[in-house]
Amino acid sequence: MDAQLLLSGIIFGLSIGSIFFLMAIGLSLCFGLMRVISLDQLLYYSIGGYLTYTVSVGTGSVWLGVLAGLVVAGITAFAVERFVFRRIYDRDVAFSMITTFGILIGGVGVIKAIWGLVPRPVAMPAGDQVDILGTFVPGYRLIVIVVAILVYVAIWLFLNRTIVGKAIRAGIEDVDHVEGLGINVYRLFTITFIIAGTLSGLAGGLHAPLIMVDPSMGLEVIALVFMVVIIGGLGSIKGTAVSALLVGQVMSLGSLIYAPLAQMAPFAIMLLILLIKPTGLYGSPLLKR
């Protein structure tokens, strides 16, 4: 394989893995703390993509669109948590999954009513090519990678250096113990849900210039997002990041070797990892309740 083609494939894999991380981190956070499978995170991902398209068309600034998308996604997530999730936290995990899937499907219908069925293109905000070891790669993909790294660092600092973050970490291990200390766990749930929805919206906004936004964009990535979360370990932030980068590289480099590998190999890796470590790469038995 040509060295330049290989380097280009690695950069592509890192960028798509960064998008997967931002998409999956919301699911991981919500399951880790609240024990709900929040499929509606993929709705916020779609909202982020469409708001980026709309604002960029109106203002000419994709970055302003990304900002608008993550803000609206966070507000929508807050509304859903307040009016829907507050009523189903004590229900079975399967019930929450079905409910959130219904929210996702309903949201797709709203998107179709507002923006129609035709896929919409979003302009590339950074069209310059960057020379890396003699290989020219799109500058925007490097920006996506840097943003994902900054998000990971910000989440780590929040969870390990702030009182609220430490309470969330403790809640991920044992929410009943945290509640017994007099901490309002429902406030932690709300904060976590807003963070998750905002990051999903950011994923949609950053992904929009790389794809055509369409109403089903959230539904199309369900399998990949689940795969990333399961490989990394439910509730593990570090696991989600490692898994996302692994899946991104497998899809990118696999397509260079043999095109069907891009879709087949990640699932094969997931099965192999689960056979060796059923809780995922960084899953903990303590997450069981």
Q: Which two tokens stand for residue 114?
A: 């507002």
Is 272 inside a domain boundary?
no
pLDDT on residue 173: 64
Is 227 inside a domain boundary?
no
Is 77 inside a domain boundary?
yes
- Name the residue with higher pLDDT: 12 or 254: 12
Distance CA 32, CA 191 (A): 14
Band of residue 127 on the pLDDT scale cut at 50, 70, 90: low
pLDDT on residue 289: 43
Contact between 203 and 243 under an 8 Å Cβ cutoff? The reply is no
pLDDT on residue 1: 57
Is 132 exposed, middle or buried (CB count within 10 Å of its CB: 0-12, 13-18, 19+)? Answer: middle
Locate tokens 């893995």: which residue?
17
> For residue 204, which of 194, 213, 193, 215 has the smallest C-alpha distance?
213
Q: Give 136's strand partners.
A: 131
Is 288 exposed, middle or buried (CB count within 10 Å of its CB: 0-12, 13-18, 19+)? Answer: exposed
Conformational region of residue 235, where left means phi above 0, alpha means psi within -120 to 50, and beta covers everything else: left
- Name the residue with higher pLDDT: 85 or 54: 54
pLDDT on residue 287: 46
Distance CA 138, CA 283 (A): 35
Distance CA 207, CA 212 (A): 9
Is 237 inside a domain boundary?
no
Average pLDDT on 121-133 reads: 79
pLDDT tens-digit map of 239-261: 899 999 999 998 888 887 777 77
Is 151 inside a domain boundary?
yes
Q: Which two tokens stand for residue 134?
A: 């003699």
pLDDT on residue 288: 44
Is 281 inside a domain boundary?
no
C-alpha count within 13 angstroms, C-beta hemisphere, residue 133: 8
Looking at the structure of the chain, the number of domains it has is: 1
Name the least confident of 11-20, 107-116, 195-204, 269-278: 269-278
Contact between 213 and 120 under an 8 Å Cβ cutoff? The reply is yes
Is 248 inside a domain boundary?
no
**For residue 256, what are the contacts with CB-CB under 8 A and spacing of at least 6?**
1, 5, 6, 9
Is 254 inside a domain boundary?
no
Q: Is the pLDDT of residue 213 over 90?
A: yes
Distance CA 90, CA 268 (A): 34
**Between the CA of residue 227 and those of 120, 203, 245, 246, what are the distances in Å?**
27, 17, 12, 11
> For residue 230, which of 197, 272, 200, 196 has the smallest C-alpha distance?
272
Which segments of the chain are extended strands (E)?
120-121, 129-132, 135-138, 212-213
CA 64 to centroid of chain Cα atoms: 20
> For residue 56, which of 122, 115, 3 has the smallest C-alpha distance?
122
> For residue 230, which of 81, 54, 24 has the smallest C-alpha distance?
24
Domain that includes residue 182, residue range: 3-217
